[in-house]
Structure 1
Amino acid sequence: MVAMGRQNAFPFPAPARPTMTSRSARLAAALIALCAVVGVGFGFAAVFGRTGSVPVAAWIMAAYFTNLTGLLVFAVFGGIALRVPALAQPRLVATTVLATLLVGLVQRLLLYGLRTLRGGDLIGDILLHQALPVLVPLFWLVFVPKGRLALRDLLLFASYPLVYLGYTLLRGAYDARYPYPFLDIGKIGWGPVAAYAGAIAAAFLGVGWALVRLDRRLARRRLAAG
């Protein structure tokens, strides 16, 4: 009788969980991609307004981890919205989660208040530093299949900021300009730059490890729930 009562308590099948190929996921991905490209676009327009040169503005924009991450988010989430299998991968989405969280945290902890932003700079700041670090992790929580990440993926996650660091140091050796004060070797020296980079790398790997653990826990919970 108890078993029959439980069976009758749920006469309808449970709703299917949303996936990255569902209409709601693709619409959410399109919105995130739009936020990313609009944020980068407004930033570019502001820099172009100050320089009057498209190549110079592009060179300046390409120096910043924030802008490169915005383009990465645009590519990955645009691919999800358009059903491009090579881009709709849980590991790629997890990489964008960590990158956007890094963008938001570094801006809040190390860069907040250093400049007064107006116009396109302000719009770009809101979209890239505030909106994406919330929207991208929420998308991962709601739509991305869980149980697909492993600790070895930390190498993939870390490769992006490490490549960026090398790229930034090479740029700085070329034109003696650094996009962030904590990477400015000319002003603060190699020691502090190494310390900042090490701390950021450790935090990034720590958050990546936590993301993998959360992914596994959510996978087990969903499996137990059926």
Structure 2
Amino acid sequence: MIDPTPSTTRAGAASAAGVPASAVLPAVRRPFTAVFRALVALAALTGVVLDTIDSDDLGRLFSYFTVQSNLLLAVASAWSAHRAWTGRPALSPRITGAALLYISITGLVFHFVLSNDSSGFSMTSDRTPLESVANQLLHTVTPLAAAFDWLVLTAPGGFLLRHAWQWLAYPLFYLPFALIRGAFLDPGTDGRYPYPFLDVDLHGYAGIATNAVVFGLAFYALALTLTLADRVRPHLHGLRNRISPTGSGPLK
């Protein structure tokens, strides 16, 4: 005879009786998701390692938002891969959404601003073979992979409107970090400021403030777009995690 009691009721009763919920609802492992996220973490780390091998100034290298955002994505993806492999609940959407936003900023700013000669902030230059591979991994592969994870492997509805402004904490703290670091370096030092739109020598502090407002508003608009899109997009994965609730966030 089939037990008509819903699983959530059984889980609540078991919890009240002192029995762990996992004893009633078995963990659902997601090996494909786990492997994909492990590969995302590997791609991000590989790009950073290749840049490290080809760099003669590690302080400058790790001052780039690109490198920092890829390291954050690597940590979130590896953590999420472990949870998917072991059937544990997903990471908080606040964490995974932040990783998605930062790597999206990296990809969009690179392709539409830094690689665009008409933007006024172009950083095009000759690259070694290692730099070229790292460049594609860090600016193209990881942003696209993170977007695929969010759209295909993640239940929708996890992002909240308050997350959009909370996620801006890191980009906002990055601004004084870049400016203070540059202030301690001698004028004319190569890479004194990591990006042309943060270069005080070129724009002055008033110009930097204007650039910061423009980019900040654009980043907030992107965060809102991701949040709203997450609430209306279909659930393409098709399989519901029986432990974690619907909309438990990307990279789970």
Fold match by TM threshold 0.5: yes
Contact residue 90 and residue 144 of structure 1 kept, 8 A: no
For 2:103, the equivalent position in structure 1 comes to 100
Q: Hey, what's the Cα distance between the residues in 2 that align with 1:161 and 1:133?
A: 17
Q: Hey, what's the Cα distance between the residues in 2 that align with 1:221 and 1:77?
A: 19
Q: 1:86 to 1:179 in 2, by over 3 A?
A: farther
Superposition deviation, residue 156 in structure 1: 2.2
Question: What is the 5 A alignment of 1:1-226?
Answer: 22-47=30-55, 51=56, 57-83=57-83, 88-112=91-115, 114-176=124-186, 177-218=192-233
* Larger mean Cα displacement after TM superposition, 36-45 or 180-189: 180-189
For 1:4, the equivalent position in structure 2 comes to none
Contact residue 73 and residue 100 of structure 2 kept, 8 A: no
Q: 1:23 to 1:207 in 2, by over 3 A?
A: same
Superposition deviation, residue 220 in structure 1: 9.2
Superposition deviation, residue 212 in structure 1: 1.0
Superposition deviation, residue 121 in structure 1: 1.2
Residues 78-121 of structure 1: per-residue CA shift (max 9 Å, x gap): 11112297983322221121111111111122221621222221
Q: Hey, what's the Cα distance between the residues in 2 that align with 1:142 and 1:73?
A: 17
**Greater length-normalized contact order (CA 8 Å, ≥ 6 residues apart):** 2
Q: Hey, what's the Cα distance between the residues in 2 that align with 1:188 and 1:212?
A: 33
What is the TM-score with the length of structure 2 in the denominator?
0.71
Letter in 1 for 2:51: G
Q: Hey, what's the Cα distance between the residues in 1 that align with 2:194 and 2:29?
A: 37
Output the aligned Cα RMSD.
Answer: 2.5
Q: 1:86 to 1:125 in 2, by over 3 A?
A: farther
Q: Hey, what's the Cα distance between the residues in 2 that align with 1:125 and 1:146?
A: 30
Superposition deviation, residue 191 in structure 1: 2.2
Q: Hey, what's the Cα distance between the residues in 1 that align with 2:90 and 2:79?
A: 5
Q: Hey, what's the Cα distance between the residues in 1 that align with 2:236 and 2:154?
A: 15
Letter in 1 for 2:31: R
Contact residue 73 and residue 99 of structure 2 kept, 8 A: yes
Q: Hey, what's the Cα distance between the residues in 1 that align with 2:168 and 2:217?
A: 10
For 2:118, the equivalent position in structure 1 comes to none
Give the secondary-structure state (helix, strand or coil) at the position aligned to 2:161. Answer: coil
What is the TM-score with the length of structure 1 in the denominator?
0.79
Q: Hey, what's the Cα distance between the residues in 1 that align with 2:179 and 2:126?
A: 26
Q: Hey, what's the Cα distance between the residues in 1 that align with 2:153 and 2:125?
A: 36
Letter in 2 for 1:125: N
Unaligned runs of 5+ in 1: 1-19, 52-56
In the alignment of these two chains, the number of paired residues is 196
Letter in 1 for 2:213: G
Q: Percent identity?
A: 29
Unaligned runs of 5+ in 2: 1-27, 116-122, 187-191, 238-252
Q: Hey, what's the Cα distance between the residues in 2 that align with 1:220 and 1:187?
A: 47
Q: Hey, what's the Cα distance between the residues in 2 that align with 1:189 and 1:74?
A: 35
Contact residue 21 and residue 80 of structure 1 kept, 8 A: no
